[in-house]
Structure 1
Amino acid sequence: MNNRLIIIGAVVLAALYVFFSSIYIVNERDQAIVMRFGQITDIRTEPGLYFKVPTDIVDTVQIIENRLLRYDIANMTVQVSGNAFYQVDAFLTYRISDPRLFRERALGQLSVVESRLGTRFDSALRQVYGLREFNAALSEQRPQMMREARDLIRPDMAELGIEVVDVRILRTDLDQEVSATTFERMRAERLAEAALLRARGQEQAQSLRAIADRQAVEIVAAATRDAEIIRGTGDAERNRIFAAAYGQDTEFFEFYRSMESYRKALAGTGTTMVLSPDSEFFRYFGSNGSLPAANTNLATPIQPTAAPITAPNGNEQALDGLGIEDATIPSITLDDGSELSPTVGTDVPEPVETAPAAAPAQ
């Protein structure tokens, strides 16, 4: 009885072994290579349950990836046009498109594929960067560079049954030494540009300041000229009024002038004068304060006439004879596009009109 149970158990175990060794499962993420005595007999790419010759002695199955795989390159040093060196980070995605070639030429091992990928990827990136300047990787040429690198890798990897799907450049950065040199060059360029802008600003400022100084001198000179003209005209008018008033009574005019001379000459200045009492200077000094008799025969009053005020010619230069020529007036264009320019020219102020002199009271 016990021997029968042992035999039955052995048969059941053998049957289970035969059954399970004759089936294999391919899921949606994998694909299978079926080999008989080392020769490929079948390729399974669709998911499902499949059967083969029992045991792994006759038929063997290798499960390989059917998903996109990724290969990365980090801190790769490339040389661009101009003999500058830069650091590049990039990656590519690939998939096993032909399992038969993958098994025959890459021994079915991803390590062999990635070794070939690393060599071809490195060569492709160097070739793509070597034909361009550094700025190309930061411009609209970046997608084109990635497509070119992908197309350079594809033919070689297709021989291994590998399809390169895409290539992406993650980072393009300056090498440490190149970065320092580039920074110093950019700094020097910005300093030179700042110095140029500062010099242009100082030039504009000097020009504007010179024009403003010239305008100030012209305005002051014009105002001084007009003031002297008006002052001279006023003095002339005053003299005419005095002459008209004093011409009516000569005796009174002499008396008035004598009083003025006494007030100015005999002021308390400590000056000693030795004069004869009978001199003409003391003609009215010894009158004991009595005024001379009023003149009843007055002359006919003279009506004073206002002297014309000569206005300066509006077209006349304010600084006559100084040889100041018209200067080119600069203008500064602001960031918003508007132009800033100084005030041009000076207008000579109109003379102040004086009210006509009133006729003296009779």
Structure 2
Amino acid sequence: MANRFYAGLVVLGLIVLVAWNSIFIVNEKEQAIVLRFGEIQRVVDQPGLYFKLPFGFAGADNIQVLPDRLLRFDLDDIRVQVSGGRFYEVDAFLVYNINDAARFRQAVSGSIPLAEQRLRTRLDAALRRVYGLRGFEAALSNERGEMMRQVRDELRTDAESLGLELTDVRIRRTDLTAEVSEQTYERMRAERLAEAERLRARGQVAAREIRARADREVSETVAAAQRESEIQRGQGDAQANATFAAAYGRDPGFFDFYRSMSAYRQALENTGTTMVLTPDSEFFRYFSSGAVANGAPSVEGAQPSIPAPGPAAAAQPPAPAAPPSGEAQNAAPALPATPGTSVAQDGAPQPGETTGAVAQ
């Protein structure tokens, strides 16, 4: 009884082992190649549970599982030469999938690294060919898309020979090499400096033009103002001279007296000046007792208050100057009047009145 039980367990174990080696599962991301004694029997590309001959280690059916999805292969730092002769560094990648598992198995024994190694060589050659026909600026312009399509079309035939379907090719980076980058930087720096000098020169020219216009406007304005001031001053001097001439014509004696009083004030008032003159000096003729000049009134009992002259007179002041300007006329003070004498506001004596002045 016990021997039957153990024999049943052995048979059951063999059945489980055979069943386990006779089935395989394919999921939605995979595809499988069934190999019998190294030859391809069939390709399973649909997910599910499948059967095969057991005991693959004895040369029966073996299963090679391959991905059934898009794969990406990157190629970095490819040194390419453009039409101008300079070298640049390019990073690119391609996207592919295994669309013919049997051919893929025959071409590269189902090895993805080996397939990518072949794609690397062909992608490098295609990029060099495409860049060699164009300049560096093409990769930065609208031609970039056309360049990627051209590389993809050149690789598509080679990819199909490996059982691969090439979906897309993209250029991630196109950069300058170290020496080209330095040369480009120096050239751009020189261009910017030249542009700055041109802008600075234009600014200086514009500044000079603006400054010249402003100086011309200032000169014209100042000249016009000076011309107008000279005209006004000339008109004022003419009017003042006319007024003086009219006053002199009305009463020459009083006009002479008024001029002498103005000269006394300018010469003696608050100046601290000491004058040494003879008692009979012409300058103080209106301070002499009973002196009458040109019909002008005399000042009774007035004596000049000057130091006594020495053996010889030290200086003789000049005769009274010409009629003062309009400002001096207006600034002349009113003369003090003695009892019984009045002076008009404009300095002329009223008719029928006696005029006199005493020097202080």
Residue-by-residue CA offset, 1:259-288 (whole Å, 9 max, x unaligned): 55666789986676789x5x9877655345
3-state DSSP of counterpart to 2:54 = coil
Match of 1:239 in 2: 241
- Counterparts in 2 of 1:2 and 1:281: CA distance versus 1, 3 Å: closer
Match of 1:166 in 2: 168
| 1:141 Cα deviation after fit | 3.1
Match among 62, 83, 86 for residue 84 of structure 1: 86
| Larger gyration radius, structure 1 or structure 2 | 2
CA distance in structure 2 between the aligned counterparts of 1:69 and 1:116, rounded to whole angstroms: 15
CA distance in structure 2 between the aligned counterparts of 1:261 and 1:7, rounded to whole angstroms: 163
Please say if 1:16 is aligned against 2:16: yes
Residue-by-residue CA offset, 1:192-247 (whole Å, 9 max, x unaligned): 11111111101111111112112111111111111111100100011111222222
- Counterparts in 2 of 1:72 and 1:281: CA distance versus 1, 3 Å: closer
Q: After alignment, is 229-238 or 111-120 more displaced? A: 111-120
Match of 1:32 in 2: 32
Letter in structure 2 aligned against 1:64: L
Q: After alignment, is 256-265 or 64-73 more displaced? A: 256-265
Residue-by-residue CA offset, 1:147-182 (whole Å, 9 max, x unaligned): 222222111111111011122222222211111111
| 1:5 Cα deviation after fit | 5.5
Match of 1:185 in 2: 187
| 1:91 Cα deviation after fit | 1.5
Larger RCO: 1 or 2 (CA < 8 Å, sep 6+): 1
CA distance in structure 1 between the aligned counterparts of 2:117 and 2:142, rounded to whole angstroms: 31
| 1:131 Cα deviation after fit | 2.7
3-state DSSP of counterpart to 1:114 = helix
Gaps of 5+ in 2: 298-345, 352-360
Match of 1:117 in 2: 119
Match of 1:308 in 2: none
| 1:81 Cα deviation after fit | 2.8
CA distance in structure 2 between the aligned counterparts of 1:274 and 1:38, rounded to whole angstroms: 157
Q: After alignment, is 52-61 or 205-214 more displaced? A: 52-61
| 1:29 Cα deviation after fit | 1.1
Letter in structure 2 aligned against 1:31: Q
Match of 2:106 in 1: 104
Match among 183, 203, 206 for residue 205 of structure 2: 203
Residue-by-residue CA offset, 1:309-328 (whole Å, 9 max, x unaligned): xxxxxxxxxxxxxxxxxxxx
- Counterparts in 2 of 1:165 and 1:289: CA distance versus 1, 3 Å: farther
Letter in structure 2 aligned against 1:239: N
3-state DSSP of counterpart to 1:67 = coil
TM-score, scaled to structure 1: 0.72
- Counterparts in 2 of 1:260 and 1:236: CA distance versus 1, 3 Å: same
User: Aligned pair count?
Assistant: 296
- Counterparts in 2 of 1:236 and 1:54: CA distance versus 1, 3 Å: same
Match of 2:52 in 1: 52
| 1:117 Cα deviation after fit | 0.7
User: Does the CA contact (< 8 Å) of 2:33 and 2:102 recur in 1?
Assistant: yes
Residue-by-residue CA offset, 1:28-74 (whole Å, 9 max, x unaligned): 11111123333322111000111123332232221111121111112
Match of 1:136 in 2: 138
Gaps of 5+ in 1: 295-357
Please say if 1:175 is aligned against 2:177: yes
CA RMSD of aligned residues (A): 3.1
More helix by share: 2
Please say if 1:74 is aligned against 2:89: no
Identical-residue share of aligned pairs (%): 54
Match of 1:218 in 2: 220
- Counterparts in 2 of 1:283 and 1:3: CA distance versus 1, 3 Å: closer
